[in-house]
Amino acid sequence: MEEKVESTTVPDGSCVVSVQETEKWMEEAMRMAKEALENIEVPVGCLMVYNNEVVGKGRNEVNQTKNCIPGYRAEEAVELLKTFYKQENPN
């Protein structure tokens, strides 16, 4: 059974992430990148994690789908993250 590693919130409201937690999620992103490479894609894997839960993930699929447009959603994701951050951290 996998041990759940928690993030820690400090008094100023920021989040401290353990090395073990970071390694766990980076290993998953690398697994996704390897999967992309095996499908003749640029080896990119990405996870968005909040409170130790994956809230978004993806890998490069441009060659597989023959569509480069989804890559432009990165700007959309940044704007969503900014909005979320401002809601959680109004200062």
Domain boundaries, the chain: 8-88
| CA-based nearest residue to 81, from 89, 69, 91 | 89
pLDDT, tens digit (0-9, with 9 covering 90-100), for 34-87: 999 999 988 989 888 887 888 888 888 888 887 776 655 667 777 888 888 787
Domain 8-88 has CATH 3.40.140.10: yes
The conformation of residue 51, written as its DSSP 8-state character, comes to: T
Dihedral (CA of 24, 29, 30, 35) sign: positive
pTM: 0.62
